[in-house]
Every structure is written in C-alpha cells, then in structure tokens.
Structure 1
Amino acid sequence: ALAKWRVVQAVKVLGADGNGTVSSIAQGLQWSAENGMDIANLSLGSPTGSPTLELAVNQATSAGVLVVAATGNNGSGTVSYPARYANALAVGATDQNDNRASFSQYGTGLDIVAPGVGVQSTYLQNQYASLSGTSMATPHVAGVAALVKEKNPTWSNVEIRQHLTNTATPLGNPTQYGSGLVNAEEAVR
C-alpha cells in the first residue's frame, strides 16, 4: 500500500543512460530538503565518495529528510556511496529465500535489507520488467518509511530510521543483513 498522505515526487538526477554527476545528485537532495520531502530514495551508487555528496546527505538529513540509499551491486564487503555515509540508511538486497543476494554489497555500513531479486517494476517504453539489484530493494524500505510516517506524522526522520531497524526481522550476521529484513507489518503495528 502506498501512503495516502504524501505525493510521490520524482526528482531526476541521472541521465537516460543511467549516469549522473555528484552535483546533480546533490542538487536533487537539496531540492528534496527545500521542498519538504520526508524521504529520498537513492537507487544509485558509486565506489567513491565525495565531500559534496556527503554534505548534501547531511544537509538533507538535518532538514528532516530520511535518505534511503542502495548499497551497490558488485557483491563486495564494502558499502558504496552515498549509502556508506552515516546519515544515509544503507539498504542491501535479499533473494526469494531471504538470503543476501549474491550481488548485494555488505559490510559494517549496511543498515537493513529488502527483497531485491526478480522485482517487478516499470521499465522503458511503458513496459514492465523483472529486475534485480539493491536499487530494487531500496524502494521497499522507502515505501515502508512512508507508511510509518503516515501512521506517525510527528516522527522525525531519525525516529523513523530507528523504528525501521528496530522492527526489521533479524536474518543473521549484521554485516550481511544489517538489522534484518524490513518488516512493514511490524513497522506499522
């Protein structure tokens, strides 16, 4: 279910080829903060950090935005940026058996996981496709965050983040799964 209280606003920060710049991502976060968005879904990532991007994540968080970011898809034990920043909620992917997806990046910066294999999604030219990646897992967490915000409209981004991790279903080693699998039922109970 989509939270009824808020419109989903697409903020384009990547080109048609899927590439973008730190500047465009930072500007998208700034726009989200300035326009009162509660949650920013960042289904994107880079192996390298940037002071500009970290500042944008920190400023958005200070403005009340919950920044939810994909950990990356190369299967390594290091979370990508911007998910690696402390103020981003880093989301990894699980498969249909609730195991860490083989491609999902993991490590000490991983906060939570969500389904990320074979997820039905919109696609190019008004089509649908079955897609896999941490970019498919991240919207699950952002969506549950929106449901939590709908139920608890006075909660801050920090409270929502803590609630999501507290209500996640533990799956094992925190470096592989963070706090566990996002659990919408528990989160909105």
Structure 2
Amino acid sequence: MRMTTTDTAPGPGLTWSLRGRGPDDVAVLADPGPGPGNGAVPGTGRGVRVCVVDSGVERDHPGVGPVAGSWVVLKDPETGGTEVRPTDTGDSCGHGTACAGIIRRTAPECELHSVRVLGERFSGTGDVLLAGLRWAVEQGFDVVNLSLSTTRARFAEELHSLADRAYFNRTVVVASAHNSPVESYPWRFASVISVGSHQEEDPDLHLYNPEPPVEFFAPGQNVTVPWLGGTSIRTTGNSFATPYISGLCARLLSSHPRMTAFQLKNALYLSAANVRFGPRLPTPAGEVCDDSEN
C-alpha cells in the first residue's frame, strides 16, 4: 500500500528518527492553549492569515470587512491546464462571502484572503479545486477554509498528498463534510480538520464528535450569513459550520502562534462543550482509576 506521506522529503520541519540524538535535541516549549472543558477559545485572529477557497468574496460587504487579496483559478479550455491570477471580481454565487463573514465574525482581526474555484450556481470541477487548494498551501497561509469537496475518487490521492503536505508545513486545512452520506474529499483525511453542523441555538458552541469520521460539529443550521449585494440570508449546511472552526483556529493561533495542526485539534477537543473530565475508563486489568480530585 502506498503511503502519501512518504513522498515528503526530509527537511528542517521533519524528523524521521532520533538516531544519535536525545530528548534535549528535540525539546519543545509547551503551548497548551485553552484550559480543559471551559469552552473558551482566546484570541482575535490578529496576525493570522486565513484563505477562503470557495466562490470568491464580496470585498465591500459590511459583514466581511477588508479582504487582503483575491485570486481566481482559471482553466484553459484547450489544454486543461490551470493558473491562479489576481482578480477584482467578487463572489460568483454568495457561498464564499457567507463563509468569509462567519470567519470575520469569529476572528475579527484575522487577515482574510480569497481564492475563487467555484462559478455561478456553485459549479466547479475537481481539478480547479485541487489547483486552488495547492496554491493556498504553497502560499503558506496559516488557515485554509474549504467549505466544499469533490466526490471524484480520481482526485483523492493527490488531495490526500496535498493535505499531508499542508499538515507538515503548518498550514491548517479546515474542510466541511459532505451534506449527504457520500464519499468525498478531502475532509475524510486525518491531516485536515473535518467539520459538520449541529442544531444547537448557541452560536458560539462547538462539539467534539466521538464517532468518526467527522471530528467536530459547529453552528451550521438556520444561521444568518452575509450574501451577495450587501445582504444577508438564513441558511443551513456543513459549509457554514466549517468557517466557525476556521475562525477558532485563527483565534488560537493569534494567542498561541507556535501551535501545530495536531495541537490545534487537541485544543479544539479540550474546549468543546461536550468534553467532560471525570473518572478514567477501565484499564486492561479492569480497574478504574479516578484521579479527578488529585
């Protein structure tokens, strides 16, 4: 079986083994993030670059605020090749503006960027999605919000490799699960943070899912979002839960800039409203150890 992560060449950020080295050579300064079970995620997103890979963003929408940069993926109809260019064109269908607005509301001081990979009526192709995500990872954004996926299995391997590359390069990809129970990508990969929606009324509540494959649930049902023409609508979908988690990641990174994707997942888990701390589960010997009062 071919493992995509083995394609990544060793570099300054990758350690394949500790041959000839000891604990002092890999010392880590702890950056624990929020305390367990309190639901509070610190930070405002200041200094964190977030890229929305979607349908574009309406730059002058009052619910979105400033957009630092906008790009579009163009596909050559003759050769099938793709390229990414700067663009002044805003949003093609409203979806990206909605996601950007949720991120802005959650992490008000983050630096927003946009890459348009969807056209009118939410149309798009897997190769354009792949090109947009690849470009975002290559730019080194801190967080990439991907409120879309492809059901085309032929893109799975390359998306998996790209997701792993982002993970190792400290770019956090936050991806929405499909709204239907179908196989789609890249949210299924462990190297991204996968998100579905919950129906709780609290707009600032996220939950950890103890039953994979979706990792976290966030507000995404009957939520108010910015839309085209400076308007807003109420809508439902995993797409709109995902930017809330992206915003939380931006807030965490603004307070704890050394956090890796692994640490971010752990911080989201510890701050989830449904995570409780109490007696430990039985050990293999059948004993229960309760150190909650120690």
Contact 1:91/1:134 (8 A) holds in 2: yes
Query: What residue number does 1:93 align with?
Result: 197
TM alignment of 1:9-88, pairs within 5 A: 9-49=113-153, 50-74=156-180, 76=181, 80-88=184-192
Number of residue pairs matched by the alignment: 163
Query: What residue number does 1:184 align with?
Result: none
Structure 2 unaligned residues grouped into runs of 5+:
1-42, 49-110, 203-209, 277-294
Q: Match for 1:3 among 32, 45, 50?
A: 45
Contact 2:174/2:246 (8 A) holds in 1: yes
Give the RMSD, CA atoms, in angstroms: 2.4
Query: What residue number does 2:217 align with?
Result: 113
Identity of aligned residues (%): 28
What TM-score does the superposition give when structure 2 sets the normalisation length? 0.51
Q: Residue 144 of structure 1 aligns to which amino acid in structure 2? A: L
Query: What residue number does 2:56 align with?
Result: none
What TM-score does the superposition give when structure 1 sets the normalisation length? 0.76
| Whole-angstrom distance in 2 between the partners of 1:61 and 1:28 | 17
Query: What residue number does 1:135 align with?
Result: 239
Select the structure that is richer in helix.
1
SS at structure 2 position matched to 1:137: helix
SS at structure 2 position matched to 1:53: helix
Aligned-pair CA distance for 1:66: 0.8
Contact 1:71/1:79 (8 A) holds in 2: no
User: Residues 3, 21 of structure 1: CA spacing in aligned structure 2 closer, same or farther, 3 A cutoff?
Assistant: same
User: Residues 21, 61 of structure 1: CA spacing in aligned structure 2 closer, same or farther, 3 A cutoff?
Assistant: farther
Q: Residue 63 of structure 1 aligns to which amino acid in structure 2? A: N
Aligned-pair CA distance for 1:107: 5.7
User: Residues 69, 59 of structure 1: CA spacing in aligned structure 2 closer, same or farther, 3 A cutoff?
Assistant: same
User: Residues 108, 122 of structure 1: CA spacing in aligned structure 2 closer, same or farther, 3 A cutoff?
Assistant: same
Structure 1 unaligned residues grouped into runs of 5+:
99-105, 173-189
Instruction: With a CA cutoff of 8 Å and minimum separation of 6, indicate the structure with the bigger relative contact order.
Output: 2
| Whole-angstrom distance in 2 between the partners of 1:171 and 1:151 | 22
